Structure 1
Amino acid sequence: MPKLKHWLMVAHPWSWPASGSPAMIAFSYVFYMYKTGVVAEVNWLFGMLAIIGAVIFHAAGNLISEYHDYVSGVDKLEKTGPVRLIVLGIFEPKPVLLYGYLVLSAGILLGIYLLVNTGFPLLIIGTIGIISSTLYYKFKYAGMSDLVIFICYGLSITLGVVYVMTTELYWPILLISTPVGMLIVAILHANNTRDMLQDKEAGIKTQAMKLGLEGSQIVYQTLLLVAYLIVAIAVMMRFLHPVVFVVLVTFPLAIKNIKLMKKATVDNLVKIQFLDTYTAKLVLMFSVLLSAANFIAPFV
């Protein structure tokens, strides 16, 4: 019989910063725009609800994917990475799928509330969230997960948070959120690179499998380094205040992760067993610092 902690664990709460981080960055940037006179009115409550909604959709997607990864044979007992509770027999598959759709329903209800109080653009953004939550496993098995994650986490979440807070589609937020979006994709890429041999046995095709180990190493390095470059570009274009260069505090960690990825070999992928976790820590640190900089910038 699953315990309360198991119901939480099966939704992979350690991954939620991947959705909470871009939402937090968007919230902080709206604060920056408000304090600098770019926007006159802001609904702070809707912003907080949007952050919660992003995490709810993420949790739902985790649960639905957990079910499909098990029934498709992707998740096995010997697979590396997080503990899979269906594989261990703690959960039957169907209750996890039902759980996922119940969580998704809660997210949709919250989205409808925000939609009624904002406008039509949120319907399009919310639809992207629903599609990514319910059909992510199909994109994953077709080697399109990196693109879907970037669109959902790197772009639509931040655009949605800014919209519900201001009722404006502020397109520059897409440039501002691109760095964290690339880092979030790097989490997935590290995971898929580690699991490429096991995924091949399961008959699915991830981007890492298509690229091969050497190509995956290059892509991982590019994702991390270009993220910092785009921050510099956003500062030069005056969308971000120079104080955001505080994110460079995380650069040594990025370099450390890149060096670890380069040590992996096809015969010894266990060397990057925890690289997705290390990359997730980078994402969290980067996002907290960028958000803090946005809150501080109007007073500097």
Structure 2
Amino acid sequence: MTAAVGAAPISKLRAWRLAARVPTLSASVAPVAVGTGVAIRYDSFELLPALAALFAALCLQVGANLANDVFDFRKGADTVERLGPPRAVQMGMLSEREVVAGMWLVFAMAAVAGIYLAYAGGWPIIIAGLACIGGAIVYTGGPWPIGYHGLGDLFTFVFFGFVAVPGTVFVQAEAIPDFAWVAAIPVGATVTSILVVNNLRDIATDRRAGKRTLGVAMGDLWTRRWYGFLVGTAFVVALAGWPLGPLGWPVLLVLGALLPLAKAARPVVDGTTGRALNASLKATANFNLVFGLLFALGIATS
């Protein structure tokens, strides 16, 4: 199958990589890493539940990305004017049927991991897993997609922060210490910052498509300020764990994420628009991963 008439052939493997949005999957690694760091801090680390949580998180995010690929196409949000990386269905690389089948396959894989996690953590994991799958579908699918009504940022913050981080702790410790909820805030903030850059880039095209993201509602300037607020909050809350919480000086390791943040934030601060923001999107995903891993290490060694 080819991407378009006259275009060079695209392999199926590359098409699936594009549909899964592999470069963004670091968003699933950071919450599990931080949750595992909390489990280590409270002497509750369990390797197999941690790995199963990571596998489930990755499958859920891939499933959500595939759902977005096909549902955005059906709703007319993905057109030839698209500024972001190519979408598999919109470009003709994969059929709608293929992507929907792939979506359900990875959700089924997440469910298999969820069965094991439910054995380790009980019925709350079943509820959380079903909520994650449902949320991934209604984000851009269904009669009232939440991503089209300004709720995408809240959804991302809650699921990647307040669900994924404490959930990872719970499947290992069978309890959630209060600090797990605090640790979820920086993670939710940095993951959401990835979405903010995406929405900032697409303000004009989303507005024309009737996709009312928070970026469309806030406008260019306040979306940039929202990005700054999120990344600033991540550092403030993480570092406050030393003087005000259960952490020691190793949490200062998160300051090492300032370097990738500088690269990610520069286009946002400088007023860059359109496709030029794709570099910032990739850099923000990298910042999120570095921040999450350093924060996890700081928690675990405190």
Q: Same fold (TM over 0.5)?
A: yes
Say which SS state the counterpart of residue 10 (structure 1) adopts: helix
AA aligned to 2:27 is A
Contact 2:55 / 2:113 at 8 angstroms: preserved in 1? no
AA aligned to 1:143 is G
Aligned equivalents of 1:64, 1:240: Cα separation in 2: 39
Structure 1's unaligned 5+ residue stretches are none
* 1:32 to 2:41 alignment: yes
Contact 1:159 / 1:171 at 8 angstroms: preserved in 2? no
Partner residue of 1:184? Answer: 191
Aligned equivalents of 1:147, 1:183: Cα separation in 2: 13
Percent of aligned pairs with the same amino acid: 25
Partner residue of 2:73? Answer: 70
* 1:254 to 2:261 alignment: yes
1:289-300 alignment, distance < 5 Å: 289-297=294-302
Aligned equivalents of 1:275, 1:256: Cα separation in 2: 7
Partner residue of 2:23? Answer: 14
Cα deviation code 1:117-150 (max 9, x no counterpart): 3212212322331222211111111110000000
Residue of 134, 155, 161 corresponding to 1:148: 155
1:187 CA displacement: 0.5
Residue of 83, 98, 117 corresponding to 1:114: 117
Contact 1:128 / 1:156 at 8 angstroms: preserved in 2? no
Partner residue of 2:277? Answer: 272
Moved over 3 A (4+): 255-259, 268-271, 294-297
Say which SS state the counterpart of residue 63 (structure 1) adopts: helix
Q: Give the TM-score normalised by structure 1.
A: 0.90
Residue of 198, 201, 204 corresponding to 2:205: 198
Partner residue of 1:100? Answer: 103
Say which SS state the counterpart of residue 27 (structure 2) adopts: helix
Cα deviation code 1:21-66 (max 9, x no counterpart): 11111112211221xxxx5xx4321111111111111111111111
Partner residue of 2:290? Answer: 285
1:269 CA displacement: 3.5
1:177 CA displacement: 2.2
Say which SS state the counterpart of residue 139 (structure 2) adopts: helix
1:240 CA displacement: 2.4
**Which piece of structure 1 moves more, 159-168 or 270-279?**
270-279
1:223 CA displacement: 0.7
AA aligned to 1:31 is I
Structural RMSD (CA): 1.8
Paired residues, number: 289
1:204 CA displacement: 1.0
Contact 1:264 / 1:272 at 8 angstroms: preserved in 2? no
Cα deviation code 1:58-107 (max 9, x no counterpart): 11111111100111111123311222122221111121012101111111
Partner residue of 2:133? Answer: 130
Aligned equivalents of 2:264, 2:288: Cα separation in 1: 12
Q: Give the TM-score normalised by structure 2.
A: 0.90
Residue of 37, 50, 58 corresponding to 1:47: 50
Say which SS state the counterpart of residue 80 (structure 1) adopts: coil
Say which SS state the counterpart of residue 235 (structure 1) adopts: coil
Aligned equivalents of 1:112, 1:223: Cα separation in 2: 34
Aligned equivalents of 2:278, 2:133: Cα separation in 1: 30
Aligned equivalents of 1:51, 1:237: Cα separation in 2: 29
1:258 CA displacement: 3.4
Partner residue of 1:85? Answer: 88
Contact 2:265 / 2:284 at 8 angstroms: preserved in 1? no
